[in-house]
Amino acid sequence: MLRKLCLLAALLFTFATPEARAVDIKDPENTLIIELRSGEVVIEMLPDVAPGHVDRIKKLTRDGEYDNVAFHRVIEGFMAQTGDVQFGDMEDGYNPSRTGTGGSDLADLKAEFSSVPFDRGVVGMARAQNPNSGNSQFFIMFDDGHFLNNQYTVWGRVIDGMEHVDNIKRGAPGSGAVTDPDRMIKVTVAADR
């Protein structure tokens, strides 16, 4: 009897650990999985909110463009920015002095502003001053940033693994520039796993 109770307790503990939790992926075709050094981040993409941006993210992901790309700008209490596929690939062409200035070879995207607020865990498309200049770079919010509402395109939200986003190495105060940055090790669309 004691042996059965110990076994039951061990099983319950095993299934209660974060590593064993199951993520409810409702739409694998519109779910992004980012492997970080500390674990996986699962992002629910929002094609009903930003169809062009979601299509772009999926294309670059399926082409392998986001693999090994640095988190080049990370500001405590604000956000972690990545996605410079031109200068941010830490295995091919990484250029710390230019990372954050590049994008893909594809045309820039027209803004798809929405009423979705920039809350903690929301994923938005980075851009230059022109609202229609989003290309490949994106950012994940550490905290609410409602001053970004209707200024940047929201295309997703973290549904699991936010603790791994919280572990991304922070950059310098002010600029957010990161020395020896963390990277997206592997990025996949859940339907492709």
Closest CA to 36 of 69, 63, 76: 69
Burial of 142 (0-12, 13-18, 19+ CB in 10 A): buried
- CATH superfamily ID and name for 26-192: Cyclophilin-like (2.40.100.10)
Task: Give me the residue label for tokens 């699991």.
Answer: 160
Task: List per-residue pLDDT tens for the chain, 193 residues long.
Answer: 545 544 444 444 444 444 445 788 999 999 999 999 999 999 999 999 999 999 999 999 999 999 999 999 999 999 999 999 999 999 998 999 999 999 999 999 999 999 999 999 999 999 999 999 999 999 999 999 999 999 999 999 999 999 999 999 999 999 999 999 999 999 999 999 9
Residue type, 122: V
- Residue where the block lists tokens 């091919």: 92
Domain ranges of the chain: 26-192
Single-letter residue type at 119: D
Q: State which H helix or E strand residue 184 sits in.
A: strand 183-184
What amino acid is encoded at 24 in this protein? D
Q: Which residue spans within the chain are E strands per DSSP?
A: 31-36, 39-45, 69-70, 73-75, 79-82, 122-125, 138-141, 154-160, 183-184, 186-189
